[in-house]
Structure 1
């Protein structure tokens, strides 16, 4: 039927009608809140490029987790800043590593049972050179070695699972990492631990503020030889398919807003849980606009999150998790 019989505005007249026919719904349970754990006590150091985001000692992280739980947020994604770094990222897989200690502390705290604890699995925060794998150097030339990196990545995942992580999430983008992790988890008695693979992680300018937060900037070169080229949608589908074949239980897309088409294509093609990471640069540019009064903070925040979910993400990693949960209450 055509106008005037068909009037699509009829169902937009009131807030109640709009709510009744809303196709996509944000819920606090679908939000994942990233935390950056650092050594010490009573440490709450704001990250200059990410207003409202902090490096937290474990005692302070527990307070953040308790607040997240009270807001109904679905889970946490943990990153670590070790006291020392070395060529082999030994802090990543150490039994007393910062994230391992954080996981055990969170799991021992009453009232946090409903929070899913996800641990990022990567080496960049723990290596002295800041790359996500083992570096082979010859003079001024270097290569990020794939296969030798897999052993350390798998060892890291097993260590985090043994500490109590509910999910391990490899973000390194080495070929074969999911298979190596699955094998190591199974051999170490962690066969029930799911793998959330950063299956399509693009080499993006939007990671800049994160590298301050996690102190993980490469000391030389860049990560374009292992993170994906932003021009390649079809290759992203191949990456996802390979990770699923190797044993990934869930997939994560990163960044989110500049790659909504990739999220949508993955949702159409793969029948697995799919999440997306609204990364540091997305958060920081919005905060900059909010500080200047250019955009309404709550409406803009929720609109961006809704766009990511509408594209096909079932859960969202976002630094806005607490603010969004309060707005949705």
Structure 2
């Protein structure tokens, strides 16, 4: 092969301006959803740092409102809320109480920032005394169908509070259909569902369980969350949720499952979400804080990879910080 006969790919990489012109994947502020932990505390002005998630905290409602406002000034458009109730019980009643912590936080956020897209996580694990995502039978097994009624009640109570998107994360069979039916019956047919459609029983959830005080008191969640080895099963789960009325399909976690994100992107024409979970955040932060990785480059590369795999939106604890760079 003579000089000039081979591909000259470097021509389009020569300058920053050229690289920008041919860039195939662009991360935008509107792609990012920041996760927040809101605490039912008698104290106003409460903020407690989360040791395993440096830079993240649990907030009282007033501090949450202030924090979100500062992020919106930088371009934040969406947030997802996780609640820590003051009291827990076997039925997780705090999840669907009209005056529950998430419901009160949603009302305050929507009153203060009407244009903010507020996403609410629907699950019982943060509210049950046993830490599992549904009602238990006498043998400690999670009961699927009786749990559906409580998830539907939770979704309706959150929609009534002003939530813009309902996001069930429990992995009970049939929960999207139950929630869609309950929302429609309560006059919330306009509220979309972002289903945690493909949620794996992942080792990367550890820091979240500290942040949300949601670790199971016994056993694990492998009986309802997915086996990390399976991808075809994920396609079946996503297809079921889509058929039941999910408007957005999510893959969780993100980075270890980029192939699954791509599979859903290639299979469904609905928007695809990905959740860069607490363990992914903590892993990057540990390397960054030890000086092993460049902060901005590593965070942006990780998020760009998730979007390049096919995610239209990304839940990430880095959203606030990334807004400064975009």
Q: Same fold (TM over 0.5)?
A: yes
Matched residues in 2 for 1:18 and 1:192: separation?
41
Residue aligned with 1:50, SS: coil
Matched residues in 1 for 2:220 and 2:253: separation?
17
The match for 2:318 is 320
The match for 2:54 is 51
The match for 1:283 is 281
The match for 2:93 is 90
Shift of 1:153: 0.5
Residue aligned with 1:137, SS: coil
Q: Structure 1 residues 4 and 34, CA, compared in 2 at 3 Å: closer, same or farther?
A: same
Matched residues in 2 for 1:126 and 1:120: separation?
12
CA distances 1:154-195 after superposition (whole Å, capped 9, x unpaired): 100010001000000000000000000011101111111100
Kindly indicate which of the two structures has a greater share of residues assigned to strand. 1
Q: Structure 1 residues 39 and 17, CA, compared in 2 at 3 Å: closer, same or farther?
A: same
The match for 1:225 is 223
The match for 1:159 is 157
The match for 1:136 is 137
Q: Which moved more, 1:65-74 or 1:182-191?
A: 65-74
Residue aligned with 1:276, SS: strand
Structure 1 unaligned spans of 5+: none
Residue aligned with 2:138, SS: strand
The answer to whether the 8 Å contact 2:155/2:183 transfers is: yes
The answer to whether the 8 Å contact 1:30/1:73 transfers is: no
Structure 2 unaligned spans of 5+: none
Matched residues in 1 for 2:321 and 2:78: separation?
15
Superposed, which structure 2 residues align to 1:42-121 within 5 Å? Answer: 42-109=45-112, 112-121=113-122
TM-score of the pair, normalised by structure 2: 0.97
Q: Which moved more, 1:38-47 or 1:160-169?
A: 38-47
Residue aligned with 1:310, SS: helix
Shift of 1:70: 1.2
CA distances 1:262-301 after superposition (whole Å, capped 9, x unpaired): 0001000000000100000000011110111000010000
The answer to whether the 8 Å contact 1:36/1:79 transfers is: yes
Matched residues in 2 for 1:16 and 1:113: separation?
37
Matched residues in 1 for 2:272 and 2:10: separation?
33
Superposed, which structure 2 residues align to 1:205-216 within 5 Å? Answer: 205-216=203-214
The match for 1:4 is 4
The answer to whether the 8 Å contact 2:164/2:192 transfers is: yes
Residue aligned with 1:24, SS: coil
The answer to whether the 8 Å contact 1:278/1:317 transfers is: yes
The match for 1:293 is 291
Matched residues in 2 for 1:137 and 1:71: separation?
50
Shift of 1:137: 2.3
The answer to whether the 8 Å contact 2:45/2:60 transfers is: yes
Shift of 1:4: 2.5
CA distances 1:26-85 after superposition (whole Å, capped 9, x unpaired): 011110000100023111100010000000000011111112211212300001000100
The match for 1:307 is 305
Instruction: Give the CA RMSD over aligned residues.
Output: 1.1
